[in-house]
Structure 1
Amino acid sequence: MSSLDIAEVVRRSGVPASTLRYYEERGLITSTGRRGLRRQFDGSVLEQLALIGIGRLAGFSLDDIVRVFGPQGELRVDRALLTDKADELDRTITQLAAVRDGLRHAAACPAPSHAECPTFRHLLRAAMNGDITVHEALTATNSAGRHTDL
């Protein structure tokens, strides 16, 4: 691939120039030189930026992502790190699904107010006592959104 001016990398990737400079400082990407005052990058930088974006979306820190790229930008995949992150994402998905279900219950609850909802009152007491986790609290309604006996 041909050399890309920093402005072209910004245009094609959507990553601001300041972020590109920061990524270069952190060792995530490497410029190939300068044309005048403008940094030049190999076209492969677009793939590296896409991988960085995916990593950030998955919740990896920049330090984690730095470890994925070798000194010449080659990938060094840490499969254990990926497995751990996938497991963490599974837990997050479960928690977010519970939050969603709790919101749906609150929106559809037939009680005149949430203060009168038996599920809400029970969950509030349990949470205040530290008897249940947020996940358990939010999954205290069944899939139909009906109150359950806790």
Structure 2
Amino acid sequence: MYRLDIAEVAQRSGLNPSTLRYYEKRGLIASDGRHGLRREYDDSVLTRLALIALGRRAGFSLNEIGVLFRPQGGRLELSRQELQNQAGKLRSQAEELKVTADLLDHIAACSAPSHLECPRFQAILKDAFIPEDTE
């Protein structure tokens, strides 16, 4: 194991020292002590920070990350079910974004005098954004 001071961790992770201190305050990472006035971390903190970044990118809140990435019996255990649930949510969001991108592409390329006169635009708009009557 190699010890890194807060400046090294910040440089390697691309995070500000203030973010590292915040993560430490939230219990997401832990320093091993201090060398003078500087916090020091075990080099495994970089893996932990990468997992936090992955969790953030996947749409988890810091609270959720704290629960998901809590060590169990000395090992980091990730809930496979929670990860699968989040992956499903991301796929759904990706599909919604694709529909929106397709609509924007059509609007940009449409030769109709007005987009509101374009039958294809109306159909895409209705299918994607206008809820059906629930009566």
TM-score by length of 2: 0.86
Distance in 2 (alpha carbons) for counterparts of 1:127 and 1:9: 45
The CA deviation at 1:106 is 0.8
The CA deviation at 1:111 is 0.5
Kindly provide the CA deviation profile for residues 55-81 of structure 1, in whole angstroms up to 9, marking residues without a partner as x: 101111111111122278741211110
Equivalences, count: 132
Pair 74,110 (structure 1): closer, same or farther in 2 beyond 3 Å: same
Pair 119,47 (structure 1): closer, same or farther in 2 beyond 3 Å: same
Distance in 1 (alpha carbons) for counterparts of 2:102 and 2:115: 15
Distance in 2 (alpha carbons) for counterparts of 1:98 and 1:126: 10
Distance in 1 (alpha carbons) for counterparts of 2:70 and 2:100: 36
More off after superposition, 21-30 vs 69-78: 69-78
Please name the residue that 1:16 is paired with. Answer: 16
Kindly provide the CA deviation profile for residues 40-63 of structure 1, in whole angstroms up to 9, marking residues without a partner as x: 000000110011101101111111
Structure 1 residue matching 2:71: 3-state secondary structure = coil
* Superposed CA RMSD: 2.4
The code of the aligned residue for 1:119 comes to R
Structure 2 residue matching 1:111: 3-state secondary structure = coil
TM-score by length of 1: 0.78
The code of the aligned residue for 2:88 comes to D
Pair 78,128 (structure 1): closer, same or farther in 2 beyond 3 Å: closer
Structure 1 residue matching 2:41: 3-state secondary structure = strand
